[in-house]
Amino acid sequence: MKEKYKSSKWQEVINWAQKRSLFMLHYCTGCGAIELPPTMTSRYDMSRFGIGPAATPRQADILLITGYLSTKTLRRVVYTYEQMQDPKFVMGFGSCTINGGMYWDSYNTIKQLDKYLPVDLYIAGCMPRPEAILEGFLDLKEKIENGEAKGYKKYKEEYEYYKTNQKKVLGEVKRRQ
């Protein structure tokens, strides 16, 4: 880890603000999306912790992967992640992102998300309830405050590792121009 980012006082101030203001982009591939509306609206209201939904990847801080990723959607998730601005955090949501969950022997889903993207935090469960999601967000805030959520730096440093794994499932990417 390069410590030059961490050492400055200014970075601590930014971390302090970052912790209290998080824009979340939820990539709703699986069934997990259904747990997010109650988390955002009146019943559980995550905006009291300073977390709100973002409209586009450019504006977002958190990428929330809700549920399984097929190899087709993984490519889109990788594009989305690379469009986001540093500092950015990835949260895996549900057991599908941890070990494949109920899709563990499926031929076209990925089993383990952190082979392909640097996951900062997992929320276990199938599905995790809104309480669990809020608990996860609070844990992430603590990690940001302590400077432990360094997934985006890890992605840059171990770029080769992640790219190799991505290419293994996606094949060579032909970008349309």
Q: Which residues bind another protein (CB under 8 A)?
A: 10, 13-14, 17-18, 20-21, 41-42, 45, 47-50, 52-53, 55-59, 61, 84-87
Rounded to the nearest whole angstrom, what is the least distance from the CB of residue 93 to another protein in the complex?
21
Find the Cα–Cα–Cα–Cα dihedral 155, 156, 160, 161, rounded to 10°.
-20
Copy the structure tokens of residue 58: 């450019």
Beta bridge partner(s), residue 109: 70
> Would you say 48 or 174 has its CB closer to another protein?
48
> Would you say 88 or 117 has its CB closer to another protein?
88
Rounded to the nearest whole angstrom, what is the least distance from the CB of residue 47 to another protein in the complex?
5
Beta bridge partner(s), residue 136: none
Which 8-state DSSP code applies to residue 70? B
> Would you say 18 or 109 has its CB closer to another protein?
18
Q: What's the one-letter identity of residue 141?
A: K
Rounded to the nearest whole angstrom, what is the least distance from the CB of residue 39 to another protein in the complex?
12
Q: Write the CB contacts of 82 (distance below 8 Å, at least 6 apart in sequence).
A: none
> Would you say 45 or 114 has its CB closer to another protein?
45
Copy the structure tokens of residue 151: 């997934």
Rounded to the nearest whole angstrom, what is the least distance from the CB of residue 28 to another protein in the complex?
13
Cβ pair 48, 112 in contact under 8 A: no
